[in-house]
Amino acid sequence: MKREASSPRPNFEAEAKKIGFDYAYADGEPYWEESARYVFSLAEIEDRLEAATAELNALCLSLVENVVEHDDLMRRLKIPECAFDVIRASWRRRDPSLYGRFDFVYDGKSEPKLLEFNADTPTNLYESSVVQWHWLQSQIARGELPQDADQFNSLHEKLVARIGEIAPSRLLHLCCMSKNAEDAGTTAYLAECAREAGLVTKLLDMSGIGLKHNEFVDPDWRRIEFLFKLYPWEWMFADSFGKSSAVGRTRLVEPPWRMILSNKGALALLWDMAPGHKNLLPCYFEDDPQVERLGAKYARKPIYSREGADIELVDGVCIARGETEGYGREGYVRQAFCPLPVFDGRRPVLGCWLVGDAPAGLGIREDKALITSNRARFAPHAIVG
């Protein structure tokens, strides 16, 4: 694994516009990193990253199997009691998952270590799937990379196949907070995948979902049978319509059981299930006496938080803090502090994607700060040799 200079495409902005990559710049700052790339060997991808993704996914499914049978564990994860039966029924039906993303710290030398599992509303999907693939083809065509260069990226074809496989009807509704450019872009991309799979799609803002006779409906009062939501389960169950029996009557993606895996408490339960696992970091709930095993060096993470918000890195004293967004009311976990490696002043987080239960790709975000924030840049990668 190495980070190396990469020659930017002279027509990048036109290329980005052509493929609908409308958020290549965020708040006037570049989001897509065109002047650098990460390069891996095939063995690093297959034996380390892909293998860790598959193994941890299997471990996570075992965790869900255990948690759904124990109300005390669901309470430990601060899941509201109104969600218990919904989650349990969803798992017992084996409601299918579409995708997820494991975020790893990896330096090319040691085993990748899991920082968190984005099991519910992961973004940077379009750039991982389509944008960096276009970049790779351009780099090869321009002679910037060898003809046999490749990428850990089968996301698009797997997403199309998976959506077609799990669809209970021909119409897929997709919703998000549409004023967020990245959320809207991710949702629009999944709609495109669904159309390739032969489905009809309808895009909605979250405010466009109504409730009629205990069924979700769209603004045309049409029943919603199959819904992709880029909206966290903890928010949904806090909303009045999230407590409706309509939740159990709708095929939702991601399904309710993913709420078990989409909070940081799952990291503590995974460590308790598989202590010493080569791809896990020691992690405990903050009120667990065992937390003292971590000593004075740890990452303090709210059970529910996003984009690095309200996370603290502690080395005797707090050495870094994410943006304050008000997370943490439900409690915290402490995870062993495993600093991100530094390449040319940048700290990469490696996001390994699943589609269904299959490893499907890699997206890299890098930041200068110790805590990766929503201002991190996306850097493409290639497999060479």
Condensed to tens digits (0 to 9), the pLDDT of residues 196-224 reads 999 999 999 999 999 998 899 999 999 99
Global confidence as pTM: 0.96
Q: Indicate whether 374 pLDDT > 90.
A: no
Average pLDDT estimate for 162-188: 94
The pLDDT of residue 315: 94
In sign, the C-alpha dihedral spanning 62, 64, 65, 69 is positive
Of 6-10, 122-126, 183-187, 347-351, give the range with the top mean pLDDT. 347-351
> Which of 3-7, 180-184, 200-204, 224-228 is least confident?
180-184
Q: What is the C-alpha separation between 295 and 240, in angstroms, rounded?
A: 42
Of 120-124, 154-158, 240-244, 309-313, give the range with the top mean pLDDT. 154-158
> Which of 154-158, 197-201, 301-305 is least confident?
301-305
DSSP for residue 30: E
Q: What is the layout of strands, in order, in the sheet containing 283-285?
A: 283-285, 332-336, 297-302, 312-315, 317-321
